[in-house]
Amino acid sequence: MKNYLLLLLLSLLYSVAFSQENDITTALYTTYETYKETTIAKRRIKHEDIQPLLTHYKNVPGFTVSKVGTSIAGRELSLVSIGTGKTQVFLWSQMHGDEPTATQAIFDILNFLESPDFKEEKDAILTNLTLHFLPMLNPDGAALYQRRNLLGIDINRDALRLQSPEGKTLKRVRDSLTANFGFNLHDQSTYYNAERTSKPATISYLAPAYNYKKDVNEVRANAMKIIVFMNNIVQKYVPGQVAKYNDDFEPRAFGDNIQKWGTSTILIESGGYKNDIEKQEIRKLNYVSILSAIYSIASQNFKNIDIAEYEKIPENDRKLFDLKIEGAKYILNNKAYKIDIGINRLEVNKEDYSDFWYSSRILDQGDLSTYYGYETFNASGYTIKQGKVYPKQIATISEASNLDFISLLKKGYTHLRISKIPHKQLSSPFPLHIIGSKFIIPEELLLQPGVNPTFLLEKNGVNKYAVINGFLINLESGEGTLKNAMIYR
């Protein structure tokens, strides 16, 4: 009976605590646009993009901006600190150069902390905690929009050897702060889904293990409690789209070691969200959930959370495609087959790494009934057909822009021959592929993993849909979003 009453009391305390912070969370969510840092609104942000923001905070009372290290290429690594509390909270982002979502959210949080709003909540945070933000740990990787640093190593596998200056900086800062809590901020593949569901893992969490047995001490348990708290918040806005990262111990990884060194470490992975290519909605979720978690740490309300709830969060799975075609008829060597096709749109960086174009691929085909798509098309009753080359050669891209592309697709044309293709033109701006004067497309359509997905879907002898570079276009309505097709010289 005593155990039952104790459990009931803990449950009530947790309910009251979460109810209080739930109100704050709602207010943070609804007022977000007030604090969003609009100068960094796309993913491919670079070191030079955040320097004016860091310079600004050098001149704001209460904030301290310190140089704590340099990258291999000599770019400054900066730490922004605010608060007077004894509990040290350390947040670092963009350890991987192509994972910038939380970097953007950090500057949103700094804008919030600078503002005169939410005075009571901010006083509670800043008198109980000291917050430290290292917003871009791998600026050299960010410049090239790549995961690794200039040494070609994954900084997150350098916690033991400490060969990278960026890794050395991370450890030195953590040790100097003797941080009580750490937020290890990353992006993960958009193709992760919440286990056994069609929903993307928009946010994934992990309280990293600190040994192979995956033991749970007080340090790790506190991280688990914070994650349960954050999960409850994010579920309000993207229900079913939260997952848990694999917790196998990786002795070289920073998250695992920082947990081992005594900092309660919360890994946050920003995944995918439908129609959010630049991850701005996910950025908002980072802002709301991290700020709410910081407030929970300041108020100590997380302590009443049952860590058993952590294990109930579904695990990450990787069974999502950008486009899934289901049950289409595919004719090969005069025989008909039923086939599913899983298509991903792969990003290719432009020369200055500030933008990208798509070169899509078939990732898998066959029976994909256990897989899902951000977009799924039931192609039962449709036959896959090879596209044709438009018979008239066009002189320039400018001249081609006057064509009626939907009309051409309806007639089965998927390729356009252009005699003068500018050397710097990387992709076709039209919903047809551009080919050079001498380029020959295969006579028969061959679908294989690794092949660019381009074909027509015919029904009753009429072309109803086209798949061009992995984008589905409705030929009756003209609906379909396509960033680019390909150029084959």
Global pTM reads: 0.93
Residue 303 structure tokens: 């302590």
- The 10s digit of each residue's pLDDT in 30-72 is 999 999 999 999 999 999 999 999 999 999 999 999 999 999 9
**Where do we find the tokens 């994934």?**
204
Whether the pLDDT of residue 149 is over 90: the answer is: yes
- The 10s digit of each residue's pLDDT in 369-421 is 999 999 999 999 999 999 999 999 999 999 999 999 999 999 999 999 999 99
Q: What average pLDDT score do residues 422-447 get?
A: 93
Q: What percent of the chain has pLDDT over 90?
A: 94
Determine the Cα–Cα distance for residues 44 and 29; give it in Å rounded to an integer: 24
Q: What average pLDDT score do residues 101-121 get?
A: 97
Q: What average pLDDT score do residues 257-276 get?
A: 98
Q: Any idea where the domains of the chain sit in the sequence? A: 2-316, 320-488
When the candidates are 3.40.630.10, 1.10.10.60, 3.50.50.60, 3.40.50.150, the CATH number that belongs to 2-316 is 3.40.630.10
Whether the pLDDT of residue 7 is over 60: the answer is: no
The answer to whether 367 touches 327, Cβ cutoff 8 Å, is no
- The 10s digit of each residue's pLDDT in 173-222 is 999 999 999 999 999 999 999 999 999 999 999 999 999 999 999 999 99
Instruction: Give residue 362's pLDDT.
Output: 98
Q: CA-based angle 472:478:482, to the nearest 5?
A: 45
Whether the pLDDT of residue 14 is over 70: the answer is: no
Determine the Cα–Cα distance for residues 403 and 145; give it in Å rounded to an integer: 36
Please report, for residues 388, 395, 426, 476, 484, the alpha-carbon distance to residue 422 in angstroms, rounded to integers and kept in the order given. 23, 11, 9, 32, 16
Q: CA-based angle 333:334:338, to the nearest 5?
A: 90
